[in-house]
Amino acid sequence: MDKKITVIKGDGIGPEIVTEAIKVLDAVAAKFGHSFEYTDILMGGCSIDACGVPLTDEAVATAKAADAVLLGAIGGNTSTSPWYKLAPNLRPEAGLLKIRKELGLFANLRPANLYDELKFACPLRSDIIEGGFDMMIMRELTGGLYFGERKTEEVDGVETAVDTLSYNENEIRRIAIKGFDIAMKRRKKVTSVDKANVLDSSRLWRKIVNEVAKDYPEVELEHMLVDNCAMQLVRDPKQFDVILTENMFGDILSDEAAMVSGSLGMLASASLNDTKFGLYEPSHGSAPDIAGQDKANPLATILSASMMLRYSFDMDKEADAIDNAVKQVLAEGYRTGDIMSEGMKQVGCKEMGSLVAERV
């Protein structure tokens, strides 16, 4: 198959980790007889520097014309970089929010699982994580507080800021369907997280999720309040299969779950619209402090490329080949600095990419 991939290297370690993911994708193409065509666009700080805005409309158009987007990471040091002196809508993150909205990427999938070899890095007690855990956070990504109306104004001489949390039944239904669909391919359990004891948007959320659940009689559905979920992720992460939640709760809980897994450098993510199109990126940030030093861990980006093959290109075999290559490299004892432990072999970003590519 021929596929067009728009590539956003971004800032910080972004270029290094994307380069390694492309190395692995090229190995897949060679082995399975595909052809991937890559087109770079700018987003984030590098786009601010080159074009004055974090994402141009031309860049969006290029991304739209592709079959999928592969993203490294964007942004810089928030206290020292001049990018953070700009108005909020001109900062690096604004590019990310714009591309999510413009491409209609409403479904954000963030797996959080424990790698056997990296158990030592998990911050939880060993008896809690015995047997491992493996959850998928399905976060709504184009609604809620992120994209509601907002304003800051003086009300009777008092400065007042307002953000709006709005969801309609269609927005909830389409993400719920994605959540149940993915649960059907996993352990068939959905935990829908909301704050229905306080918010109207959560009560509508719960109602629509209950409706969608009727079409998936095999899937067990439970509702959990967001404050309780923040506790349960620490108390017993094993209990979760798919966590389905709205944008802001998903932002908080997916990061908590990532930390609970202990290996941020390993966590991939996918952001999908209602076609096969998606944007794939590691869950971690741009780590400006180690940029350009060949120290970054490219595995989360490589695993994001694997998600791209699986979700956007229907290339399950190819995706499995990447996932297995990553497991093999870990089993052989290769580690980047962030996941290094005694007795293992420390390698740089480039070598890690080559090791995975060779094993594909």
**Which residues are near its own copies by CB under 8 A?**
88, 91, 93, 97, 122-126, 128, 145-146, 148, 150-152, 155, 158-170, 195, 197-201, 203-205, 226-228, 230-235, 248-249, 251-256, 258-260
221 binds, among ligand IPM, its own copies, none (CB under 5 to 8 A by kind): none
**Which positions from 50 to 89 touch ligand IPM by CB under 6 A, shown as an x/- string?**
----------------------------------------
Contact 357, 23 (CB under 8 A): yes
**What are the residues facing 151 on neighbouring strands?**
162
As a whole number of angstroms, the distance between CA 204 and CA 107 comes to 18
Q: Check whether 237 is labelled as a binding-site residue.
A: no
Q: Which amino acid is at 127?
A: D
- Minimum separation from the CB atom of position 310 to ligand IPM (A): 20
Does residue 102 touch ligand IPM according to CB under 6 A? no
From 149, 194, 148, select the one nearest 172 (Cα to Cα): 194
- The reply to whether 294 sits in an annotated binding site is yes
| Binding-site partner at residue 160 among its own copies, ligand IPM, none, CB < 5 to 8 Å by type | its own copies
134-140 and 242-245 beta bridge pairing: parallel
- Based on the residue annotation, tell me whether 251 is a catalytic residue of this protein: yes
Whether 49 is a known active-site residue: answer no
From the candidates 251, 280, 311, 334, give the one annotated as an active-site residue: 251
Tokens of 182: 């993915």
Of the residues 67, 178, 195, 280, only one is catalytic, namely 195
**Residue 255 falls in the annotated catalytic set:** yes
Q: Toward its own copies, which CB reaches closer, 102 or 323?
A: 102
CA distance 169 to 176: 10
Contact status: 227 vs ligand IPM (CB under 6 A): yes
Does 251 bind ligand IPM (CB under 6 A)? Our answer is yes
Other beta carbons within 10 angstroms of residue 22's beta carbon come to 21
Cα–Cα dist 241/37, whole Å: 35
Phi, psi at residue 154, to the nearest 5°? -85, 125
Residue reference for tokens 């999510």: 100
x/- letters, 174..193, toward ligand IPM (CB under 6 A) = --------------------
Check if the beta carbon of residue 300 is closer than 8 Å to that of residue 266: yes
Nearest approach, Cβ of residue 296 and ligand IPM (Å): 18
